[in-house]
Amino acid sequence: MSVIFIRMSSHPGAPTPMENGVDPAGVTPNTRDGETEVLGEAEDCRNPTEVEMTQLVMPCHANHLGELSTGQMLKWMDVTACLSAERHAGLLCVTASMDDFQVEEAIKVGQAVYIKAQVNRAFNTSMEVGIDVRVEDLSTGNQKLVCMAHSTFVARSLSGEKVQLQALIPRTSEESLQHTLAAERRRMRLAHADTILELVHSCPFQDVTLGPNVDYGKELVPAARTRVHSVELVLPPHANHQGNTFGGQIMAWMEAVATISASRLCRAHATLRDIDMFQFRGPSQVGDRLTLKSIVNNAFRKSMEVGVCVEAYRQGDCSPASLRHINSAFMTFVVLDDNGDARTLPRIKPYAGDGERRYREAIARKKIRLDRKYILSCKQNEVPLSVPWDPSNQVYLSFNNVLALTLLASRGAWELVSVQNGIKLYSCEEGGLLSFRIEMRACVSAEQAFLLLSDLQHRAAWDKHYQKCSLIQAADEDDAIYSVESLAIRKGLRPQDFVVLMSRRQPCQTSRDPYVIAFRSVTLPAAPPSPNFTRSEVLCAGFIVQQLNSSETRISYYNQATPAVLPYISKDIAGLSVESHALFLACKTFLENNSKL
């Protein structure tokens, strides 16, 4: 039997908040003056929505290799995250989606699993929950991270209506960071389906894998061999006390049929590597029959994509018209050899019609997966300066742009270098990179400062380095690509030019988030390098604009120095000049002179 206990603590064995004398809201009585004080960032400052599940992996949880099945792990993750969401909402919650994730580490029978979940942000009726899974080898005490994931839950009233949630106030710098990033991840997940559709419709696919030049997998397996149909009856143990099926249970059933499809391709056990987002389109209840269908959509050289679809019907009415679409997901599998290396796979021969469509769509999803993994998994200082821009990776590049600036701003090691006319210059040296921040207060509303600063065509009015700026492409209302021409770094050199993606974000109505304007270089066929300019690059730069009171706004400009800006700023940081102070004094004057909306 598995051991389950759930508590609010950040470490196994740590006392609960109440045992520590901390109330779940994180506000504790100040014994000296009788007022309440909010806890600081101490070890004991635990998030009141934090829930931890600890499990001992038993043979009944494992696959034939003695490893925890991903389906079982998904059930535990979903329950832990749901309980965290319900702590915040004070109501029943249902899983709306789980973002794509990868499993980094196999978990074996006898090992302990710790699943920790906490609400990162409440939006209107939905909230994002962050989930960490760790494994501990009980004989050595070694712990490893298995995966990190994000789920979205929607709160439901007793009558089943969606409910407006209370905002979640972050209390530590890590919580603030996750709070900001949650809004970015939400943009990405809500755009997910459109991104895929757009790519599928806009890219002309060449059928290279069916052509004569394919140098792998001579065997051609008919897709029909990989088709799996199954049915599940939703029973009370699969559901919460209102009778709604747990999302984790459905994900586990989906993983099981997908594994059979994948294993049938090459008659060997397949291992799940990657899951595209699970999106729950409609609820199902106790008594529903769920039909699960899976098939290998496409087999690439070393990996394959399996598509799974779940539909529900009530007893006695399984006509196609009464089937409700519950979920569809795409999973990537590999087949490992005895050394743990991915085997070369046979090719798949798709069905005519729909099968060929899914075959092509799988190629599009693979491209998106690779782009997204590359763009999102790169650490800030590992991302190449310019990333090619195309409509299929727009949403990830925009996310990455804002993420990089948010992370730069949240660094702790900023040192004040100098103050001149109220303009402060800070520097930060971390991980071999030099960054700087310039901060000022201006008598202008944050909204107006945001509008002026996010339109780069205004920049030449206060920045003498900007010679010319033109809009190349307005990707959407928050993302635009500009071409900027600026002065040469030194006399005798060619002037510089940049192609930058500007991604801007306004705070949600209910939050006190700042306005954000992020910049990074991208490459674009429409703006090739010119022999008259030195093409220069911006890795991470931008403004964070925060209203301080009814008349004043704080404007912070950040820049992770690249060769294109280093010559300007290093003199200021060394104290040899105050050029950046003069530049931002001009910016302040410009904003104040144009302060009327």
Residues within the interface to ligand COA (CB under 6 A)? 94-97, 123-126, 152, 154, 162, 189-190, 244-245, 247, 250, 279-284, 326
Residue 255 CA to residue 306 CA, distance in Å, equals 10
Residue 223 CA to residue 202 CA, distance in Å, equals 26
How many CB atoms are located within 10 Å of the residue 96 CB?
Answer: 19
For 363-391, what is the HEC assignment? HHHHHHHHHHHHHHHCCCCCCCCCEECCC
Q: Residue 230 in contact with residue 257, Cβ under 8 Å?
A: yes
Q: Residue 549 in contact with residue 541, Cβ under 8 Å?
A: no
Q: Which CB sits closer to ligand COA, 10 or 328?
A: 328
Among residues 497, 503, 496, which one has the least CA distance to residue 520?
A: 503
Residue 138 CA to residue 108 CA, distance in Å, equals 11
Q: Which CB sits closer to ligand COA, 285 or 570?
A: 285
Query: Smallest distance from the beta carbon of 278 to ligand COA, in angstroms?
Result: 9
- Vertex 116: Cα angle to 114 and 118 (nearest 5): 175
Query: Smallest distance from the beta carbon of 178 to ligand COA, in angstroms?
Result: 16
Q: Which CB sits closer to ligand COA, 126 or 454?
A: 126
Q: Which CB sits closer to ligand COA, 55 or 126?
A: 126
Q: Which CB sits closer to ligand COA, 189 or 581?
A: 189
Query: Smallest distance from the beta carbon of 512 to ligand COA, in angstroms?
Result: 18
Q: What's the length of the chain?
A: 597
Q: Which CB sits closer to ligand COA, 191 or 524?
A: 191
Which structure tokens are listed for 68?
């925890």
Query: Smallest distance from the beta carbon of 511 to ligand COA, in angstroms?
Result: 12
Q: Which CB sits closer to ligand COA, 239 or 265?
A: 239
Query: Smallest distance from the beta carbon of 142 to ligand COA, in angstroms?
Result: 35
- Strand, helix or coil at 577? coil
Query: Smallest distance from the beta carbon of 232 to ligand COA, in angstroms?
Result: 12
DSSP 527: S
Residue 333 CA to residue 320 CA, distance in Å, equals 30
Query: Smallest distance from the beta carbon of 247 to ligand COA, in angstroms?
Result: 4
Residue 475 CA to residue 406 CA, distance in Å, equals 21
Query: Smallest distance from the beta carbon of 305 to ligand COA, in angstroms?
Result: 20
Residue 45 CA to residue 130 CA, distance in Å, equals 18
Q: Which CB sits closer to ligand COA, 283 or 542?
A: 283
